[in-house]
């Protein structure tokens, strides 16, 4: 067996080890064995990365680059991502356990996100104001907000990075990207493409490390102007508290416990596929997982039977194998959390229709699981599982379905399956969620805003307005009068 790869930090255009020499090992979730090591940032590394980001904002190489030129760099980055999608996908799969088919496809698709923001780079416009003062020419312009800290989790790294880095670079900001200390290898590989694309040193740095030495110094640093965070609510609370030190503008894209409502007029095969995609896609490791299936009682048993039939042949195995449909979970801790939550569900009266246990093989494998819930108090309906667990609960009326769907502190995704167009509009309008899919699930696009309500966070990523979130508005007043400014102490 060859030597394990070692990943350094990418700071100010240089590859460096952490200042205090801290190194962590990344485990392959499919085997449970360490496969790579990576350097961890110390507080002085954070200072260096932020300092470089601050400096480059005043460097003519970036400051004076035209908006069109910035767009061309983003187009170049998009091309490089597509060219390297398979290689990055393989590294991400080895590091996180996600299926290669998914990681490679997702890596290739995010090129469209960078192209979308490349096209918007020279569409960031100001305005001339029809001001109510004579002899005044007043206009606004959009300027880069400044130094951005982008924090992404391990489960959809290339996608979640694109929704932050794309608009930030299009707006002319500089970015310190903090990869999760769980499975950071693909982000550090991605840094090589940023370098190759030709961005000036310091425009983007990529670091990782633990909370005390990296995340906390990063989010409370006085020179940070904006924080874009994706992760869990508990960590987000720390981020918000830290941002009180620098008043950084903050957006949070957090977890969810998304409902999928299936009415008795739905196409049942389509609904079964939607529930399977919402729960078993990405092995359930998705913030928008539709893990609360709310099913109209007349079709409850039939829909469960269809799901069971479809899932019986699901292939669980090596995520690098193209025939595998569900791979391992990223960490052993996830498996343990799911097992404990399923135990609590059983005690509460839930019935495990299939699955419900760790698969007896090396690695972090959890069997795809279907939980039949007698009421809304079952633990699997309340806890974000982050694994291949589907919980189904029957309802009797449309009003009851909406009430059950909204009975959660989260509000990220939601789904509705019905062939009644009026019902689709009526129900989707009342669901308290930032995204609603009707007769489909988990579709995304760079054109469509993405974000949640309540404990699923605030702010939106993707869409045409996202680039403006990385700018500040400056208002300029110019007197056009031939007369000098009047004495302010003489009132007329």
Which CATH number characterizes residue 422's domain? 3.40.309.10
Instruction: Tell me, yes or no, whether 21 lies in a domain.
Output: yes
Q: What is the mean pLDDT of residues 333-347?
A: 96
Pair 230, 284 in one domain: no
Pair 351, 463 in one domain: no
Pair 190, 322 in one domain: no
Instruction: Tell me, yes or no, whether 350 lies in a domain.
Output: yes
E strand spans, 116-197: 127-129, 136-144, 147-151, 174-179
For residues 178 and 152, the answer to whether their CB atoms sit within 8 Å is yes
Percent helix / strand / coil, the chain, rounded to 5:
40, 20, 40
Place of tokens 């009421």: 375
What's residue 3's pLDDT?
A: 83
pTM of the entire predicted model: 0.95
Q: By CB neighbour count within 10 A (0-12 exposed, 13-18 middle, 19+ buried), where does 113 fall?
A: buried
Pair 339, 388 in one domain: yes
Assign 313 a pLDDT band (cuts: 50, 70, 90). Answer: confident
Positions annotated as catalytic residues are 253
CA distance 326 to 380: 20
Place of tokens 């009975």: 407
pLDDT (tens digit per residue) in 21-48 = 999 999 999 999 999 999 999 999 999 9
Pair 263, 144 in one domain: no
pLDDT above 80 for 1: no
Instruction: Tell me, yes or no, whether 1 lies in a domain.
Output: no
Pair 128, 221 in one domain: yes
Read off the CATH number of the domain in which 141 is found.
3.40.605.10
Pair 274, 201 in one domain: no
| Number of domains the chain contains | 2
Domain span at 319: 259-438
Q: Helix H segments across 326-483?
A: 332-347, 398-406, 421-430
End-to-end CA distance of the chain: 87
pLDDT (tens digit per residue) in 140-153 = 999 999 999 999 99
Pair 358, 432 in one domain: yes
pLDDT (tens digit per residue) in 239-289 = 999 999 999 999 999 999 999 999 999 999 999 999 999 999 889 999 999
pLDDT above 80 for 206: yes
Instruction: Tell me, yes or no, whether 205 lies in a domain.
Output: yes
Q: What is the mean pLDDT of residues 187-213?
A: 97
Place of tokens 């007029």: 265
Query: Which DSSP symbol is given to 337?
Result: H
Pair 100, 70 in one domain: yes
Pairing of β 127-129 and β 471-479: unpaired
Pair 372, 250 in one domain: no
Pair 29, 156 in one domain: yes
Last residue of a domain, one of 391, 415, 438: 438
Instruction: Tell me, yes or no, whether 447 lies in a domain.
Output: no
Pair 296, 407 in one domain: yes
């Amino acid at each position: 067996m060859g030597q394990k790869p070692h990943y350094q930090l990418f700071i100010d255009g240089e590859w460096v080890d952490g200042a205090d020499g801290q190194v962590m090992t990344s485990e392959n979730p499919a085997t449970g064995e360490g496969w790579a090591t990576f350097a961890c940032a110390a507080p002085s590394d954070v200072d260096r990365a932020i300092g470089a980001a601050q400096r480059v904002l005043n460097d003519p190489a970036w400051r004076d680059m035209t908006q069109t030129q910035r767009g061309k760099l983003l187009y170049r980055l998009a091309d490089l991502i597509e060219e390297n999608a398979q290689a990055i996908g393989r590294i991400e799969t080895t590091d996180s356990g996600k299926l290669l088919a998914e990681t490679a496809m997702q890596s290739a698709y995010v090129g469209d996100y960078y192209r979308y923001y490349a096209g918007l780079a020279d569409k960031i416009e100001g305005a001339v104001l029809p001001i109510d003062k004579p002899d005044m020419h007043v206009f606004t312009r959009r300027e880069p907000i400044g130094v951005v800290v982008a924090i992404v989790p391990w489960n959809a790294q290339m996608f979640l990075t694109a929704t932050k880095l794309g608009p930030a670079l299009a707006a002319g900001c500089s970015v310190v990207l903090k990869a999760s200390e769980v499975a950071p290898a693909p982000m550090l590989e991605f840094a090589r493409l940023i370098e190759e694309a030709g961005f000036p040193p310091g425009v983007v740095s990529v670091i990782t490390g633990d909370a005390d030495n990296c995340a906390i110094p990063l989010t409370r640093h006085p020179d940070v102007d904006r924080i874009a965070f994706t992760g869990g609510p508990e960590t987000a609370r720390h981020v918000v508290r830290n941002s009180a030190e620098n008043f950084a503008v903050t957006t949070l894209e957090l977890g969810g416990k998304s409902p999928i409502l299936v009415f008795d007029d739905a196409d049942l095969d389509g609904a079964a596929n939607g529930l399977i995609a919402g729960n078993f896609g990405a092995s359930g490791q998705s913030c928008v997982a539709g893990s609360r299936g709310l099913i109209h009682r007349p079709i409850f048993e039939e829909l469960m039977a269809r799901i069971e039939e479809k899932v019986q042949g699901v292939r669980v195995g090596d995520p690098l194998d193209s025939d595998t449909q569900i791979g391992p979970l990223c960490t052993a801790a996830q498996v343990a959390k799911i097992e404990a939550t399923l135990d609590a569900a059983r005690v509460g009266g839930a019935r495990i229709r299939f699955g419900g246990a760790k698969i007896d093989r090396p690695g972090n494998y959890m069997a795809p699981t279907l939980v039949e819930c007698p009421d809304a108090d079952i633990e699997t309906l309340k806890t974000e599982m982050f694994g291949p667990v589907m919980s189904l609960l029957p309802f009797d009326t449309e009003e009851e379905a909406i009430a059950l769907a909204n009975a959660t502190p989260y509000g990220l995704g939601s789904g509705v399956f019905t062939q009644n167009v009026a019902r689709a509009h009526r129900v989707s309008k009342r669901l308290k969620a930032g995204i609603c899919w009707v007769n489909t699930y988990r579709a995304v696009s760079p054109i469509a805003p993405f974000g949640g309500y309540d404990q699923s966070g605030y702010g939106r990523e993707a869409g045409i307005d996202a680039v403006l979130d990385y700018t500040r508005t400056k208002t300029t007043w110019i007197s056009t009068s031939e007369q000098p400014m009047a004495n302010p102490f003489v009132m007329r």
